[in-house]
Structure 1
């Protein structure tokens, strides 16, 4: 498996988790400047991940395996937290 795709996919998942958190925060407490900035940052993370996947070359990818593993762990924990927040909002 190409580590580049795993890295950028995890980065996108982290952006999606932040975006989901911003959406839930806006839905429950209203849109504010911090929530709007969080949503903007999440959108930027998703777009950057997509851009990097489409334009980067595998031979130029130089992120060590431990950093990829750390990003995977961070993305999974952030996404789990966002899903739990949605579950709390729905319930």
Structure 2
């Protein structure tokens, strides 16, 4: 699945992710003085029931990256949207 929506599909999944992102952005704005770190994580396209067999990553590849990213960002404060390699994901 690409970031562009030129073929449609997965509407409910995409809507739920968009709603979560907006909820977190609003929460972070309302609590701007809160020192906690808020992370939204994109684990990558993972071979799961949802990702399917054609996905590029196994759980053994994705999960350590997610954990390492969480650990490395724990004291930053603020809201970040990151992938499993710690790279910023565009909103």
TM range (shorter): 0.3 to 0.5
More strand by share: 2
More helix by share: 1
TM-score computed with the length of structure 2 as normaliser: 0.37
Query: Greater relative contact order (Cα 8 A, min sep 6): structure 1 or 2?
Result: 1
